[in-house]
Chains A and B, each alone.
Chain A
Amino acid sequence: MNSTTPVKQNTKPNASAIPPWRVVRPESDGADQVAAQTVTEKTIVLAKNVTKSYRRHKTSVAVLKGVDFSADQGKVTAIVGQSGSGKSTLLHLLGTLDKPDSGEIHFANQRIDNLSARQRDLFRNKKLGMIFQFYHLLPELTLLENIVAPAMIGQSLFSYFRNRSGILRRAKSLADMVGLSHRLHHKPNELSGGEMQRTAIARALITDPKLLLADEPTGNLDQESGQSILQLLRNLNEETGLTIVMVTHDENIAAQCDALVRLKGGKVERLK
């Protein structure tokens, strides 16, 4: 049934019932990543025959009608499609923000769509980075605080204060990487769109995720800023081997990606 996706089940020798992100600590992630990088052609995220429909006033709109999708470790996968074709919907399902009506979502050989709410929260916090078209920064927090937010959410008050200096160092180096180290104490409304998106990227990276989901990251930016954001993501992918799944409207951008799928009529076509 999933002929288009080369799935290797149970490639990890000791895949236990406990999801791996529950035992992996941020400190040990580096070693993990090196090991993961050596495995080529590994599918990290996988959707099997997923359907999703929205109910509105008794009429049910089927958005996804049996979608099979996979993204490989260390690759940049682009999803294109017309507006309203369900790209964001699919991304939200991959990010466990929503549940599919039927079908399964797997991440690193673990089924994740049927996890408990608490486990999905942990998954999003530890394994996933998300960026959005409208940046979605928290307006009350400064740039630095926005970047640190996922780390704060993932840790108790006590452990946050214990690891505070390390977290702040990492946040500053991320801000440095996205070129915003001079604006650490500005509020989002004092930043440009490009700067906000860079902040969002830095925020997505603070917990050292395995997968970055990007929903039209350049959709709200001019050509130049869009290009620099894209360059940033490319560099990330090349330097750290970060897996990226990106929704885009821009055929140009799509062409630069390692893999490309199109959503049409509630189904996925693989283009590349």
Chain B
Amino acid sequence: MYKLLLCWRYLKTRWIALASIVSVTLGVATMIVVNSVMDGFTSQMQDRMHGILSDLVVETRSTNGIAEPNWYVDRIRGRLGDSVQGITTVVTLPAMMTFHHNGNAHTQQINLIGIDKETYASVSDFSKYLLHPDNKQKLDFVLKQSGYAPEREALQPAGWEHRTRVETLKKARLSEMERYRLLQEKISAEQRQQIASDVATLPSTNDEVSTEATNGDAAVSPNTTASATDEINQLAAGPSSFGAATPSAPRGHVFDAANEQRIGIVLGIGIGSVRGRDSDGKVKDYFFIRPGDDVSVAFPNAGSPPRAIDEMFTVVDFYESKMSEYDATFAFVPIEALQRARGMIDPVSQQGAVTSIQIKLKPDADLQVARDALRDEFPPAESYVQVNSWRDTQGPLLAAVQLETTILNILLFMIIAVAGFGILATFFMIVVEKTRDIGVLKSLGAPGTGIASIFLGYGVLLGSVGSGVGVVCGLLFVWNINEIARVLEWVTGREVFDPTVYYFDTIPTILHPFMIVWVSVGAVAIAILASVLPSIRAARMHPVEALRYE
């Protein structure tokens, strides 16, 4: 009883000892904040990665791809049975994209992914990352009139609105140029006639040459208007042998960019835009490609050795997963278009080869087990396909984040341990200060264990108060982290959490109750450990010496 009373009184009369606990408190709070932010980042990243990547991928590195995907799909379904939720076939290729911006051609390396628009959305969260609401429902690679994320002003206008506007402008400019050219021609013709008439008056051997030149030019000029339009159309159509791919454009048909689209392509938003800041420091996107623009993509065909082929596509939407790595490289096109262009379609069976088969499992299915089953089904030694889970492919990244978290935790726990030494010193001071009282208690018959438990109890109380306050502070910090970041920005004038870097608008946090319990238990344990030595010292004190102590 006296133990409880005394350690409670010591706590009440020695609030200063809480100062030594503040370090533990801060340590606990920081640990909670860091862990929840790291967990938030990790799980956002995992969610996104998992959303983008299917659970399992059966893929081949061979340029010809998997020639008989249906056979594989049947085997996979047979092996995994009920646990399969969705399956799709994909052609993935490294490719180079060229687009025109402000009159300059820009090239960029991309990952060209041919997807089956019927099934691709069933293996990943693909649809929800598209901008147009209709495409979110169902992607059809058809350019929409408008309505691409209307809340993004920087993106407007987009779709047919944008395309027709650009084409009209282009036409206007071309006809303007044409008129100018005709004018030039007329002027030079007049001049030449003038010169010719002038020259004719001079007896010269050059006479014949100049007349010939004049004749040649004259032969071209009546034709000019027609040839210019052809040229424009050719420019717009590109050096395409791929016109056949657009059913609406039979051979010989002149492609009308203002009213027709090419095969649709969905670009990662990072390919078509840059994120930066305006002079006010506001985050702004700048789109140099919009839905409605045409881009040309060069990729290898399936021949051996592979040859680069070039295709024109119309951007029909953007893909924004907020994983900058993916957003900056992924470009999706219809798989049939890619197969046809690359020559991956078997002329006999009419079956298109694919480079990978992606599988989505039911939520309760075990990823590892399914992967191992497929590895067993397609042993690497006998088949030319590899089976990987999304965790395998993203393993290094996840491991790196995990390592980072672990190191941070170790460091923070060290800080708390250092704080433990502060508590140790404080407790020693308190025991020394209380020497006479310890002597008195012993003279009143208090056993050494009782006296030790006073100080141990004091340590437990201080540790609990400290970690309790720390947990509360940490939770408040986490719950208000975005407001705090804003205040910090306002105070320091520096961006704490830069959305141009992280692609998140707010700092993601996740609080695991288990983590909070662990952290606070750890802090209390350190306070107890730090009070053990002083307690033993108090218990061992000689009563007479203690009573004599001044």
Contacts and interface: CB of A to CB of B under 8 A. Distances in A.
Q: Which of A122, A128, A149, A157 has the most CB of B within 10 A?
A: A149
B444 A125 contact: yes
Q: Would you call the interface of chain B mostly helix, strand, loop, or mixed?
A: helix
A232 interface: no
Interface stretch (A41-49, A136-144, A170-178, A252-260): A136-144
Given A152-B1, A152-B2, A160-B1, A121 B447 contact: yes
Interface string B434-464: 0011011111111110100000000000000
Given A141-B5, A141-B9, A153 B445 contact: yes
Given A139-B437, A145-B5, A118 B447 contact: yes
A64 interface: no
A130 B437 contact: no
B544 interface: yes
A116 to B, nearest CB: 11
A97 B446 contact: no
Contacts of B6: 138, 140-141
A126 interface: yes
B445 A132 contact: no
Contacts of B1: 152, 155-157, 160-161
A92 interface: yes
A62 interface: no
A144 B292 CA distance: 89
A97 B443 contact: yes
**Chain B residues touching A, range:** 20 to 34
Nearest to B439: A136
Interface in A7-52: none
A224 B22 CA distance: 50
A124 B447 contact: no
A97 B547 contact: yes
A138 B437 contact: yes
A134 to B, nearest CB: 8
Interface residues of A, number: 33
Interface string A236-266: 0000000000000000000000000000000
A117 B448 contact: yes
Interface in A149-186: 149-150, 152-157, 160-161
Contacts of B4: 157
Contacts of A126: 445
A170 to B, nearest CB: 16
A130 B544 CA distance: 13
Contacts of B544: 92, 97-98
A121 B2 CA distance: 15
A95 interface: yes
Contacts of A161: 1
A136 B436 contact: yes
Contact of A97 (B2, B437, B442, B448): B442
Interface string B4-33: 111001101100000000000000000000
B543 interface: yes
Contacts of A137: 440
Given A97-B544, A117-B447, A140 B9 contact: yes
Contact of A124 (B2, B10, B444): B444
B2 A130 contact: no
B5 A121 contact: no
Contact of A154 (B442, B443, B445): B445
Q: Which of B6, B444, B447, B547 has the most CB of A within 10 A?
A: B444
Q: Which of B5, B437, B440, B447 has the most CB of A within 10 A?
A: B440
Nearest to A95: B443
B346 to A, nearest CB: 87
Given A92-B544, A98-B544, A124 B445 contact: yes
A68 B367 CA distance: 88
A130 to B, nearest CB: 5
Contact of A132 (B13, B442, B446, B547): B547
Contacts of B543: 92, 97-98
Contacts of B440: 136-138
Contact of B547 (A118, A123, A136, A149): A136
B445 A122 contact: yes
Contact of B443 (A130, A139, A140, A141): A130
Nearest to A125: B445
A151 to B, nearest CB: 9
B140 to A, nearest CB: 77
Contacts of A160: 1
A155 to B, nearest CB: 7
B450 A153 contact: yes
Given A98-B544, A136-B547, A124 B443 contact: yes
Contacts of A150: 444-445
Q: Which of A92, A140, A156, A161 has the most CB of B within 10 A?
A: A140
Contacts of B448: 117
Interface string A104-137: 0000000000000110011111101010100011
Contacts of B437: 138-139
B9 A121 contact: no
Contacts of B9: 140-141
B444 A153 contact: yes
Interface in B444-489: 444-448, 450
A121 B443 contact: no
Nearest to A127: B445
A43 to B, nearest CB: 23
A41 B9 CA distance: 46
A117 B445 CA distance: 10
Q: Which 8 A-B pairs have the closest CB atoms?
A: A125-B445, A140-B9, A124-B445, A152-B2, A152-B1, A160-B1, A97-B543, A136-B440
Given A153-B446, A161-B1, 5 more contacts: A97-B547, A121-B447, A136-B547, A141-B6, A141-B9
5 contacts: A121-B447, A139-B437, A152-B1, A153-B444, A153-B445
